[in-house]
Amino acid sequence: MNMQANVRSAPVMSERRVSLIGAVLVAIGPMSMALYTPAMPEIVHAFGTTEAAVKLTLSLYFAGFAVAQLICGPLSDGLGRKPVTYAFMSIFLAASLMAMLAPTVELLIAARFLQGVGAAVGWAIARAVVRDLFTNERSARIMNLMGLILAAGPAFSPTLGGITMELAGWHAIFVLMFVVAVVIVLIVRFAMVETVERDLSRIRPKALLGSYLKVLSSPYFVLSSVVLAGSVGTIYTQATILPFILMDRVGLTPSQFGIGMLMQSGFYFAGSLVVRPLLGRYGAFRIVPVGLAFIGLGSAATAIGLHLFEPTFLLVMGPVAFFSFGLAFVLPAMFTPTLAPFPNIAGAASSMSGFVQMGGGLVGGLVCASIGEPVVAMATVIPAMGLIGILAWFAWHRLPKPAAANKVHAPPEQPLQ
């Protein structure tokens, strides 16, 4: 009897397997953004359009990503994680072909919106699968390993995008996105195990509304999501303005821009390496203030440096590197509490959290576009978002922890298997 109970309680996938699959799923969103950014100034000239119109291709990508989060996560609670992944990745594949063949910037904007819709499934499903199988420090370790692997893709994506554009034109970037999406579908098909039972009652409108109301009524969830919106959302906001600062103002070529962006992803990767042993020694939550200190330093340096001096590569990317390094200390802890109190509606909780994060990037990008001047926008909006994230953490930290979330703060468990 005990042996049977142990078999039933054993996760259907190991931590390492979940980490690898989750990282691949999560990567499709940032990679689709990072591959594209080196081409943005060139697309302005290719379509004879304005910077504002091309920035809209990225803002609408964020919009599609954010809105679709609210749909794909709850659908996966009722229909299963794998079928919903297939459906949304099909949208991404079709949108990639549409973008590659787009004859006008208007159609490119529409294609990028649909790409965001399709890519949203990776973020929602990856986090929901982690919550289906693991909690507390095991969940934080998985999030950290996912972050390590995730950093590798976006780290090299701008470089790959810049080189691809210079060798084969901006259309080829969407061919790369198509190929990556096909690989993801194959991995889900052959490596991922379904983690929820089909239950259509969970996706009835009344049940869905009830799930979202339950999630949004929790200050513990809302504030932890705002912490992520002010940190992760800042990375997405920067993506809308860094190409125009570094290429148009600083004078980098697309390939140089891609290589330069390694400072962002590279420092996040380095931070994740530093964090990994600290998780076992101190736990995820005790190291968050260290990350917030780096985020505060990066925010302050951005505000002061870009308001007082002409932009240079180091003046722009140095603070970005500090911000990214600090982000690695924050994410493993803050991803977990957004889901921990909601074991039966993990997809809905993951979706709403993702919506808030991407919504932060979308709002930040739109504010930057309304300011117009990219240097002034970065010097103003990025520090403001960092400050919001820091203040939200202090408010969240004072809250009483929900019973279901107290497990998150338990001592570290056995090593990664």
Task: Tell me how far apart the alpha carbons of residues 195 and 129 are, in angstroms, rounded to a whole number.
Answer: 7
Which pLDDT band, with edges at 50, 70 and 90, does 152 fall under?
low
Per-residue pLDDT reduced to its tens digit, 374-400: 999 999 999 999 999 999 999 988 887
Q: Give the global pTM.
A: 0.71
Query: Averaged over 226-245, what is the pLDDT?
Result: 85
- Whether the predicted pLDDT of 408 surpasses 50: no
Share of the chain above pLDDT 70, in %: 86
Q: Residue 245 — pLDDT band, cuts 50, 70, 90?
A: very high
Residue 413: alpha-carbon gap to chain centroid: 26
Q: What is the pLDDT of residue 2?
A: 42
Contacts of residue 164, defined as CB under 8 A and 6 or more positions apart, other chains included, come to: 35, 172, 173, 176
Cα 63 from chain centroid (whole Å): 13
Quick: pLDDT tens for 11-22.
678 877 888 888
Domain 13-192+203-409: homologous superfamily in CATH: MFS general substrate transporter like domains (1.20.1250.20)
pLDDT digits (tens, 9 = 90+) for 30-57: 788 778 878 888 888 888 888 778 878 8
pLDDT average, residue stretch 78-106:
92
Q: For residues 151 and 145, what is the distance between their CA atoms, to the nearest angstrom?
A: 10
With 0-12 / 13-18 / 19 or more C-beta atoms within 10 angstroms meaning exposed / middle / buried, residue 370 is exposed
- Which pLDDT belongs to residue 347? 67
Q: Is the pLDDT of residue 369 over 50?
A: yes
Which helix (H) or strand (E) element contains residue 317? helix 313-335
Q: Mean pLDDT in the chain?
A: 81
CA separation (Å) from 100 to 46, 172, 325?
Answer: 13, 7, 34
Largest CA distance in the chain: 71
Task: Give the CA count within 13 Å in the CB-facing half-sphere of 205.
Answer: 0
In this structure, what token pair is assigned to residue 298?
A: 């990066």
Q: Could you tell me what percentage of the chain is helix, strand and coil, using 3-state DSSP and rounding each to the nearest 5?
A: 85, 0, 15
pLDDT at 1: 40
- pLDDT bracket for residue 147 (50, 70, 90): low
Q: Is the pLDDT of residue 68 over 60?
A: yes
On the question of pLDDT at 158 being above 90, the answer is: no
pLDDT band at 151 (very low <50, low <70, confident <90, very high): low
Task: Give 278-293 pLDDT, tens digit per residue.
Answer: 877 887 788 889 999 9
Q: Which of 173, 199, 237 is nearest to 345 (CA)?
A: 199
pLDDT beyond 50 at 166: yes
List the domain boundaries for the chain. Answer: 13-192+203-409
Exposure letters 290-318 (e unless 16+ CB within 10 A, then b): bbbebbbbbbebbbebbeeeebebebbbb
